Chain A
Amino acid sequence: MASSFLSRLSFWPRFFWRQLTSMRNALILLLLLAVAAVPGSVYPQRSADPNGVKVFYDNEPELAAVLDQLQLFDVYTSVWFSAIYILLFVSLAGCVLPRTKIHFAALRARPVLTPKNLKRMPEYLSEAGDSSVLESAMVVLKKRGFRIDRQQDSISAEKGYAKETGNLVFHYSLVGVLLAVGFGGGFSFSGQRVLVEGDTFVNNLASYDSFSPGALFDEGQLEPFSLTLDEFDVVYDLANRANIGQPIDFIASVSADFGQTQTASAIRVNYPLAAPGANVYLTGNGFAPVVTVFDGDGNISYQGPIVFLPQDSNMTSLGVIKAPDALPEQLGIIAFFYPTAEKLTTGAYTSIYPDPIAPLLTMNVYTGNLGLDSGIPRNAYALDTTNMKMIAGRDGPVSAIELQVGQSADLPDGMGSVRFDGLLRFASLDVAHNPGGIWVLLFAALSLVSLTMSLMVPRRRVWVRLISSDRIEFAALSRRDDPNLPQMLEEIVREIRSGSKK
């Protein structure tokens, strides 16, 4: 009675386990995984396109809130996506582990007993021959890599164990890939830093403009090194009329100090710099005009290069200057930079070429409260003008200030003056390391090799039997679809015959 109770108790778990590890279920989970991955390509993802999520929120806040509840902006880390692939991998383990045991046994076992009726095999031949054929068959089959078992009046041979080995190794490597992705991601980090020509970056957390560490990241992973951007060059296509102005190379010339070694090298797209403990990638670039701002009292209230964000392919760029210490009032400037400026009929400027041939800086100047003292973090690339008054600019009391390199201009109302001192370029660098990457690659490569093995190697059985003193029969069987099976059997028979005649 107790045992029947126990067996009833264990029925459901066993039932679910059998369901979960069934081939049909693996198939359904695979299809679910494919379907579940789709929304991640339809909606912007926080991991790949955080700005897209922000724009979505701005455009359709209500819909965005609903989608966010369903984790549709974080599909690949969502509960439901994770549930599917975890179930899939549990199902995989439940299927592959027992098969491994069976395969190990098969590897050690002898080939099967020769079936009674070989005529029922998909390939069958019968010819004249005596027991010397069996001896010859042993040699031929051995040479062809068959595992052979000599039975009374027959030979049972099997080869292609690599098919199942490949199949199992393939599935284990997928588990390896998953683990490497998981742990690698945990210890990974990537930090972004904008560097103007002449600037130096020292590898520590404080130096980064933004930094995204994995869950297991430790600050000690950041190896000490420093990097100076000596020069940033853009090579434009000048040879082909239709492509003039198309950049064909970005080169960040850097001096790197790795502690023991000092090197000068170049970072280019597709060619990151291998620094200690991380690679340094070039991800963006733009102009950094050097500007000096004098306040109404004649003191310097800002001096230095300002990073301008490119707005179009001809590098029309937007920058913001904040001078909180300016007197009598704080100064804020929204500036546009045109590397090769051209005036439109409307009076506005545009850039017609991305390289600085006729550089022009225009400024809309504001006075008032920059809002920096309120404690709210402010975006360095935006100016909040709600508490400010425009004193120069388009549609302002005085038209926008226009400066070429070396020129300076007075601000209206005795608020000071500005000077365009020179032009530098900046590079956006990404310092990134993922220790799991190499393991992902190794397991992926292993999976590819084993997959090929499992799909291409045929598992074949061959039997040779003496049916009477002068008659011999041959048969072959393949586990899966195997178009070359008849040809193989014919060749074997031919070889055996030529062997037995010698």
Chain B
Amino acid sequence: MTEVVLNEPLSQVSLLFVSSALAFLALALVLFSFQLVKLSTVEAVSSEAKAASVGSTMVVEKIAADKMTATERAGFILLWVSTAILGVGVVLRGVAAGRVPWANMYEFSISGAFLILLVYLTALKIKDLRFIATFIAGFALVTVFAAVSLFYVEVQTIMPALQSYWLVIHVVVAIMATGFFAVAAGMHIFYLLKASGRAKKLFSHFPELLQMERIAYRFNVVGFVLWSFTLIAGAVWAERAWHRYWGWDTKEVWTFIIWVLYAGYLHAMATRGWNGKRAAWLGLVAFLSVIFNFTIVNLFFKGLHVYSGL
């Protein structure tokens, strides 16, 4: 390969952007939390009256019809700002390294957080998903914080094993899948909280359980298709780089486990008595496995995917 001259000063500028995004994310999270607290003090306008007249599929519009409070609007402006700043940080990191910015854990985390925010903000344009804003902001905050404080490495030239166009395809699709799974996981959490019957006032502002379950299902479906592609692309790459398409490497094992868990979730959604809470738990366990695969397996399990850079 041609020698890449790394631009370290530029990577420092990138780090500056990523760190400032952290501050904006934290502010957004505070505002969204305020909003939740505020909602928990007032009962929503009787949803039955409205829902009955428009039909069950329209229930989600109930919140859309509610006007955004100033706090909430400020929160979303901050979320957009932090996404833009993070995006600049990610792009600069790629420019500084002279390649795609997802070749180690730090880069995967910041790119991942950026894509999750982007998936969420885009989805928001189509569907009213404001109610999981706290989860999304919180999740992105934790991811970027972990990236900066735990996973940070200076820009490096990449080892020969990673010098392949599959790095672009395989990894970017994995990140996108994670983004969709994350939004669904947020939905599962609020679904389970609402279903538990606690904080009735707060959750009266949330969509109906059935509606939340359906949105989560749609995100998981897209995530599952992307994850299947990640798995196949990974096998094709492994055939090139490791002379076998599948070898039960620890990362391969966990990618497989996650695939099977989400397949289980999809089956649960089609099985009477297993949808609802059980399916939500299953979706949540599957997403926890995604996190586990990215953190614990990367750092502590022995295998061929030794790309954390730590």
Does B239 count as interface, using CB distance less than 8 angstroms?
yes
Task: Name A44's contact: one of B3, B214, B268, B302 (CB within 8 Å).
Answer: B302
Does A237 count as interface, using CB distance less than 8 angstroms?
yes
Distance in Å: Cβ of B297 to nearest Cβ of chain A: 7
Does A145 count as interface, using CB distance less than 8 angstroms?
no
Whether the pair B225, A33 counts as a contact (CB closer than 8 A) is no
- Chain B neighbourhood of A79, CB < 8 A: none
Whether the pair B245, A434 counts as a contact (CB closer than 8 A) is yes
Whether the pair A448, B232 counts as a contact (CB closer than 8 A) is yes
Whether the pair B225, A451 counts as a contact (CB closer than 8 A) is yes
Distance in Å: Cβ of A275 to nearest Cβ of chain B: 13
Across the two chains, which residue of chain B brings its CB closest to A431?
A: B243
Task: Name the interface residues of B263-294: CB closer than 8 Å to any CB of A.
Answer: 263-264, 266-268, 270-271, 273-274, 282
Distance in Å: Cβ of A466 to nearest Cβ of chain B: 25
Whether the pair A283, B243 counts as a contact (CB closer than 8 A) is yes
- Chain A neighbourhood of B164, CB < 8 A: 270
Does A281 count as interface, using CB distance less than 8 angstroms?
yes
Does B9 count as interface, using CB distance less than 8 angstroms?
no
Asked if A281 meets B264 with Cβ closer than 8 Å, knowing A37-B253, A448-B225, A448-B228, the reply is no
Chain B 146-176 interface mask (CB, 8 Å, partner A; 1/0): 0000000010111111011000000000000
Whether the pair B232, A445 counts as a contact (CB closer than 8 A) is yes
Task: Name A246's contact: one of B157, B232, B247, B271 (CB within 8 Å).
Answer: B157
Across the two chains, which residue of chain A brings its CB closest to B237?
A: A270
Give the segment of B38-46, B187-195, B201-209, B254-262 that binds chain A.
B254-262
Whether the pair B271, A27 counts as a contact (CB closer than 8 A) is yes
Asked if A481 meets B217 with Cβ closer than 8 Å, knowing A24-B274, A270-B164, the reply is yes
Across the two chains, which residue of chain B brings its CB closest to A455?
A: B221
Does B55 count as interface, using CB distance less than 8 angstroms?
yes
Whether the pair A250, B267 counts as a contact (CB closer than 8 A) is no
Does A372 count as interface, using CB distance less than 8 angstroms?
no
Give the segment of A47-55, A290-298, A373-381 that binds chain B.
A47-55
Does A10 count as interface, using CB distance less than 8 angstroms?
no
- Chain A neighbourhood of B221, CB < 8 A: 455-456
Whether the pair B302, A49 counts as a contact (CB closer than 8 A) is yes
Total contacting residues, chain B, CB less than 8 A: 60
- Chain A neighbourhood of B73, CB < 8 A: none
Whether the pair A37, B157 counts as a contact (CB closer than 8 A) is no
Does B36 count as interface, using CB distance less than 8 angstroms?
no
Chain B 222-239 interface mask (CB, 8 Å, partner A; 1/0): 001100110010011001
Does A440 count as interface, using CB distance less than 8 angstroms?
yes
Distance in Å: Cβ of B181 to nearest Cβ of chain A: 15
Whether the pair A33, B260 counts as a contact (CB closer than 8 A) is yes
Distance in Å: Cβ of B182 to nearest Cβ of chain A: 19
Across the two chains, which residue of chain A brings its CB closest to B282?
A: A31
Does B6 count as interface, using CB distance less than 8 angstroms?
yes
Whether the pair B157, A23 counts as a contact (CB closer than 8 A) is no
Does A249 count as interface, using CB distance less than 8 angstroms?
yes
Task: Name the interface residues of B1-20: CB closer than 8 Å to any CB of A.
Answer: 1, 3-6, 8
Does B244 count as interface, using CB distance less than 8 angstroms?
yes
- Chain A neighbourhood of B33, CB < 8 A: none
Does B301 count as interface, using CB distance less than 8 angstroms?
yes
Asked if A27 meets B3 with Cβ closer than 8 Å, knowing A48-B249, A444-B235, A451-B225, the reply is no
Whether the pair A41, B240 counts as a contact (CB closer than 8 A) is no
Whether the pair A434, B244 counts as a contact (CB closer than 8 A) is yes
Does B64 count as interface, using CB distance less than 8 angstroms?
no
Task: Name A23's contact: one of B159, B243, B267 (CB within 8 Å).
Answer: B267
Question: What separation, in Å, do the CA atoms of A246 and B154 have in the docked complex?
Answer: 14
Asked if A270 meets B161 with Cβ closer than 8 Å, knowing A34-B257, A41-B254, A481-B217, the reply is yes
Across the two chains, which residue of chain A brings its CB closest to B154?
A: A242
Does A486 count as interface, using CB distance less than 8 angstroms?
yes
Distance in Å: Cβ of B100 to nearest Cβ of chain A: 15
Sample 29 A-B pairs with CB under 8 A, ordered by A number. Answer: A24-B271, A24-B274, A27-B274, A31-B282, A34-B261, A38-B253, A42-B301, A44-B302, A48-B247, A48-B249, A75-B248, A181-B246, A239-B3, A240-B4, A240-B5, A243-B6, A248-B163, A269-B160, A269-B163, A270-B161, A281-B242, A283-B243, A432-B244, A434-B244, A444-B235, A447-B228, A448-B225, A481-B218, A483-B57
Q: A residues bordering B, Cβ < 8 Å?
A: 23-24, 26-27, 30-31, 33-34, 37-38, 40-42, 44-45, 47-49, 52, 75-76, 122, 181, 190, 235, 237-240, 242-243, 246-250, 268-272, 279, 281, 283, 430, 432, 434, 437, 440-441, 444-445, 447-448, 451-452, 455-456, 481, 483, 485-486
5 further contact pairs, Cβ within 8 A, besides A48-B303, A239-B5, A448-B232: A27-B264, A30-B267, A31-B264, A270-B241, A441-B235
- Which 7 residue pairs spanning A and B have beta carbons closest together? A269-B160, A30-B264, A281-B243, A41-B253, A34-B260, A41-B250, A27-B267
